[in-house]
């Protein structure tokens, strides 16, 4: 064991379910297992700009109640303001990384655990290298698109929320003989759409990894009808483009956020078939929900292993889940290996095997 006595933890990037469970696991292992102190940094790296840094001591007693069960992150997070190119009021950018590193130094920490997706981990690693910070990271993202780990914290809950939505859309779809279109998150990866679509009995699943035609979508809805069913369920991932290849973005959010493809698909179905369609956009419900058992378990496994890595003096590593084991990999490798839906993987072939239309046949 090293002489580490005081470690920091922060959540960075978009929140998700299971982050509070990670912090509980880290605190339990560090305090009860090693007798260390744990310091929570508020609002991701933003807490390190403040003077004194905006932090809170984390105690085992802080986690005795409902935090294990609560979605989001009680520490707060941020997914804006790259410290290496921080936006200034005049439109220029400034490298504010030295301020963050100074904030970290003021805390007298021996190591830092960063919970984040690929973007946050890339920033944290750069800071760690520049500032000599002993960094270990824990993967979290509902999108589940990080390489070298089969799952990231938050993903299972997002899939559950989307599956629950399909469970609740089916009876109303059947009551009104409608085609229900459910738009789910996932940024550029279709994992949530594909997995929830399979779990929730979707007829059609559209993901960014597989180009589609409206002809194939319409054909499937007609075939469902021909087989005597009066409704259909369609799941579409937010990053799916229009049939002619244009990205669909919400208006009024600067560079634009995904959103709106569900409406487009529903209109196309309605125009082609005259079918009555309705759209549900799940949005951030997928992030704030109570974490599933699976997410709490992964959060616990990852949190304990991250602290053990620090105890062993093994830094610049991301904890990961692979082949029923917790492992750790170099952060640089994890963030370099983007994980889209594998076109020849088991979920795509399962969907096809079930007769689900993926838009390409």
Alpha carbon distance 179, 11 (integer Å): 39
Q: Which of 278, 292, 196 is nearest to 237 (CA)?
A: 196
Stated as kind and residue range, the H or E segment containing 347 is helix 346-353
Least separation in angstroms between residue 98's CB and ligand F6P is: 27
Neighbours of 353 (CB within 10 A): 10
- Decide: 338 and 145 in contact? Cβ < 8 Å: yes
294 CB-side CA count, 13 A: 13
Binding mask 61-80 for ligand F6P (x = CB under 6 A): ------------------x-
Nearer to ligand F6P, 143 or 328 (CB): 143
Relative to beta strand 317-322, strand 135-139 is parallel
Least separation in angstroms between residue 289's CB and ligand F6P is: 12
- Decide: 303 and 23 in contact? Cβ < 8 Å: yes
Least separation in angstroms between residue 213's CB and ligand F6P is: 25
Binding mask 214-243 for ligand F6P (x = CB under 6 A): ------------------------x-----
Neighbours of 132 (CB within 10 A): 9
219-248 CB burial, b ≥16 within 10 A, e <16: ebbeebbeeeeebbbbbbbbbbeebeeeeb
Q: Please identify which residue in 142, 181, 194, 248 interacts with ligand F6P, judged by CB under 6 A.
A: 142
Least separation in angstroms between residue 197's CB and ligand F6P is: 16
For ligand F6P, the binding residues in 185-204 under the rule CB under 6 A are 185-187
Our answer to whether residue 328 is catalytic in this structure is no
- Decide: 208 and 188 in contact? Cβ < 8 Å: yes
Residue nearest to ligand F6P as judged by C-beta position? 185
Name the phi and psi angles at 178, rounded to 5: -115, 160
Nearer to ligand F6P, 27 or 120 (CB): 120
257 binds ligand F6P per the rule CB under 6 A = yes
Q: How many residues interact with ligand F6P (rule CB under 6 A)?
A: 12
Binding mask 294-333 for ligand F6P (x = CB under 6 A): ----------------------------------------
For ligand F6P, the binding residues in 266-295 under the rule CB under 6 A are 287
Match 């007609």 to its residue by tokens.
Answer: 222
Sign of CA dihedral 70, 239, 199, 276: positive
- Catalytic residue, chosen from 82, 90, 110, 143, is 143
258 binds ligand F6P per the rule CB under 6 A = yes
143 binds ligand F6P per the rule CB under 6 A = yes
* Active site amino acids: 143
Residues that bind ligand F6P (CB under 6 A): 14, 79, 141-143, 185-187, 238, 257-258, 287
């Amino acid at each position: 064991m090293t002489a580490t006595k005081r470690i920091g933890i922060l959540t960075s990037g978009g929140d998700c379910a299971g982050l509070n469970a990670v912090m509980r696991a880290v605190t339990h292992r560090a305090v009860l297992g090693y007798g260390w102190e744990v310091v929570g940094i508020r609002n991701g790296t933003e807490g390190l700009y403040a003077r004194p840094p905006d932090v809170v001591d984390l105690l085992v007693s802080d986690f005795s109640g409902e935090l294990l069960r609560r979605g989001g992150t009680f520490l707060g997070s941020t997914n804006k303001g790259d410290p290496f190119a921080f936006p200034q009021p005049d439109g220029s950018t400034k490298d504010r990384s030295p301020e963050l590193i100074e904030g970290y130094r003021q805390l007298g920490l021996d190591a830092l655990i960063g919970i984040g997706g690929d973007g946050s981990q890339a920033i944290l690693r750069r800071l760690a290298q520049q500032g000599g910070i002993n960094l270990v990271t824990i993967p979290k993202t509902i999108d589940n698109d990080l390489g070298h780990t089969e799952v990231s914290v938050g993903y299972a809950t997002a899939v559950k929320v989307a599956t629950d939505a399909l469970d609740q859309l089916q009876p109303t779809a059947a009551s009104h003989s409608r085609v229900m279109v459910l738009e789910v998150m996932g940024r550029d990866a279709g994992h949530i759409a594909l997995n929830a679509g399979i779990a929730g009995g979707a007829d059609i699943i559209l993901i960014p990894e597989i180009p589609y035609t409206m002809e194939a979508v319409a054909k499937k809805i007609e075939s469902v009808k021909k087989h005597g069913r009066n409704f259909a369920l369609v799941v579409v991932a937010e990053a799916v483009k229009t049939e002619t290849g244009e990205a669909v973005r919400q208006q009024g959010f600067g560079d634009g956020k995904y959103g709106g493809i569900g409406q487009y698909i529903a209109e196309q179905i309605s125009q082609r078939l005259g079918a009555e369609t309705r759209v549900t956009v799940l949005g951030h419900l997928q992030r704030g929900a109570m974490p599933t058992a699976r997410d709490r378990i992964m959060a616990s496994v990852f949190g304990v292993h991250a602290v053990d890595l620090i105890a062993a003096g093994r830094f610049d590593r991301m904890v990961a889940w692979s082949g029923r084991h917790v492992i750790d990999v170099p952060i640089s490798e994890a963030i370099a290996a983007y994980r889209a839906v594998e076109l020849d993987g088991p979920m795509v072939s399962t969907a096809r095997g079930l007769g689900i239309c993926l838009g390409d046949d």
